[in-house]
Amino acid sequence: MKMINKILIFLLGAVVLISCEDILETAPEGGTLTQEQKKDAFEANPALLASDVAAMYANMIAFGAILGEDYHNDFGYAAACLMMESNGADMTCANVGYNWFAPNASYADRVYTNTRTLFMWNLFYKQIASANLVISSVDSATTDPTLKAFRGQALAVRAFDYLNLAQTHQFTFIGHEEKLCVPIVTEKTTAEQLVNNPRASVKAVYQLIKDDLDEAITLLEGYKRPDKGYIDQAVAYGLRARANLIMGEYSKAADDAEMALNLSGAGPYSRDEVSVPAFWNANDNTVIWANIITENNDIVTSGIINMPSHLCSFYTDGYVGVGAWKKINKPLYDLISKTDVRKGWWLNENLESPLVADASYDKWFGIASSDGDFGPYTNVKFGADNNDLNTLIPAQDWFLMRAEEMLFIKAEGLAMSGRVGDAKNLLENFVKTNRDSNYKCNASTLETLRDEIWFQRRIELWGEGFYYFDIMRLKKPVTRVENGVTSFPDAWQFNIPSEDPILLWLVPKSEIEANEGISEEDNNRKVDPPVAQ
């Protein structure tokens, strides 16, 4: 019999999480309150559950919560996004010790004892545990508006986590419906089931995702969230749009994306708004959902264990300032039209960009250019907090969903459901109005139109955590070297065929040791990292 990993059970088993429920654990007479009695207490005073709801979102911006404070790539969901971006072909960085995402770029992360493997598993299951706690605390038949909103948010959070786990640990839904995905842990999973819980099929996991989002959308009707850090009905529609797109429910994906846009009131950044470094303020109209970061968050007070330290070129007190600049790969950069405002999101061969032409950037440029690894194609997309280049406070918000993504989902959904003309017009109007006044969509077939939508996604969503999900969904190769051209360091100059086994993340060794339902043979294939060409 395998040894039970008590730490993992803590992460997965919502029943053992410490929360505000603990104040209800013991009855005045000295007995123990039942789950039904707790539900009654929350029904009488919904505010008692508010801290558990907040805890779900806190998991996404936690400092050292999965691997520990010594790991400077452990700062929540944004770190997971950078790991996946580093797996790709469009974002690169120097192969230096200060690049904490170097093992992701080399695919050395595909080892089941690797800390990154554990991070990509426990990050999401920990949040699932928090969501399960809230779900189990609210009667599904409640009529209380606050409790309905709490349950709805928790269901949507759980769906978000399973969307991430499903896409990283198995190939995309279409064509792989019966393949092994990840174990399902819900509020109904018992401690006994937890330690003998096989990998469910892709189909089963996506069914849970859809069921959760269907209920969440109903429960969140009329809910007014305190800020964009919380999930409301628009976000739930957006998450279901993502799921429907992956599952090939293209017309439904388009409809859900439109609902997300309409309910949120969000619209794309204007050309002027992205003619300066941006993408740091969740109050921007484009943002539908975000991780709200404040000066008091641990990942901010840490100084360097946060997203800006690794991705924002203007936070030179972080890892970018000691050589770990994030850059665009030259083949993609070369494809961007010179009249597209987004071309300026990266420095050109002469270290120039219209975004940083103002004299106020002179001091920053002097600091940045003094580093040996600073150079062409360095990103200036992600702006400094409060637009203050002298700031020592890396408190930029991290965008989880914005209007542009929903427009792309709508366009792809329309195209794939037979409305090619409508899709083409939508894409062309967005780009021409907001990014490149000279743009014309020349796609003449469904295949070329879908590729053009993906191309626009690659530019627009660069660095935001979507590249890996897109190549998995579209069954695309990871092409870092095109016709001998690349910006990747020598050791990482390789291409990976579509649906190659190396693209899948592994089930961690600790999970296999803890879970009798998963054997070594049940894991994804263990393969060697690619070799440079």
- pLDDT tens digit sequence for 2-38: 433 433 444 444 333 333 334 344 333 334 456 676 6
- Average pLDDT for residues 319-333, to the nearest whole number? 97
The residue-averaged pLDDT of 407-436 equals 98
Q: What is the pLDDT of residue 254?
A: 99
Q: 3-class DSSP state for residue 33?
A: coil
In angstroms, the CA 401 to CA 212 distance is 19
Report which residue type is found at 384: A
Report how far apart, in Å, the C-alpha atoms of 210 and of each of 16, 28, 55, 204 are.
27, 41, 23, 10
**pLDDT at residue number 344:** 98
For the stretch 428-438, pLDDT in tens is 999 999 999 99
Both structure tokens of 10: 């803590």
Residue 178 has pLDDT above 80, yes or no: yes
* Strands, E assignment, 193-341: 287-291, 327-328
State the burial class of residue 142 (Cβ atoms within 10 Å of its Cβ: 0-12, 13-18, 19+). middle
How many angstroms separate the CA atoms of 111 and 526, rounded?
7
Query: What CA–CA distance (Å, rounded) separates 21 from 67?
Result: 26
Domain at 6-272+401-522: CATH architecture? Alpha Horseshoe (1.25)
Cβ pair 183, 197 in contact under 8 A? yes
Q: Are strands 327-328 and 91-92 parallel, antiparallel or unpaired?
A: antiparallel
CA distance 229 to 128: 17
Could you report the per-residue pLDDT of 476-498, keeping only the tens digit for each? 999 999 999 999 999 999 999 99
Residue 4 buriedness (CB in 10 A; 0-12 / 13-18 / 19+): middle
pLDDT tens digit string along 273-313? Answer: 999 999 999 999 999 999 999 999 999 999 999 999 999 99
pTM for the structure as a whole: 0.94
Cα first-last separation, the chain? 45
Domain range summary for the chain, segments of one domain joined by +? 6-272+401-522, 307-387
469 pLDDT higher than 50:
yes
User: Positive or negative CA dihedral for 383, 388, 393, 398?
Assistant: negative
Under 8 Å between Cβ of 21 and 50: no
Number of residues in the chain: 533
Query: What are the phi and psi torsion angles at 496 (to 5°)?
Result: -125, 125
> pLDDT per residue over 362-398, tens digit each?
889 998 998 888 999 999 999 999 999 888 899 999 9
Q: Strands, E, within 415-513: which ranges?
A: 478-479, 495-496
pLDDT at 42: 77
Of 339, 309, 326, nearest to 487 by C-alpha is 326
- Give 514-526 pLDDT, tens digit per residue: 999 999 999 999 9
Three-state secondary structure of 211-240: HHHHHHHHHCCCCCCCCCCCCCHHHHHHHH
Residues 6+ apart with CB under 8 A from 45: none
- Look at residue 2 in the predicted model and tell me its pLDDT: 40
What mean pLDDT, rounded, does the chain reach?
93
Asked whether the predicted pLDDT for residue 470 surpasses 70, the reply is yes
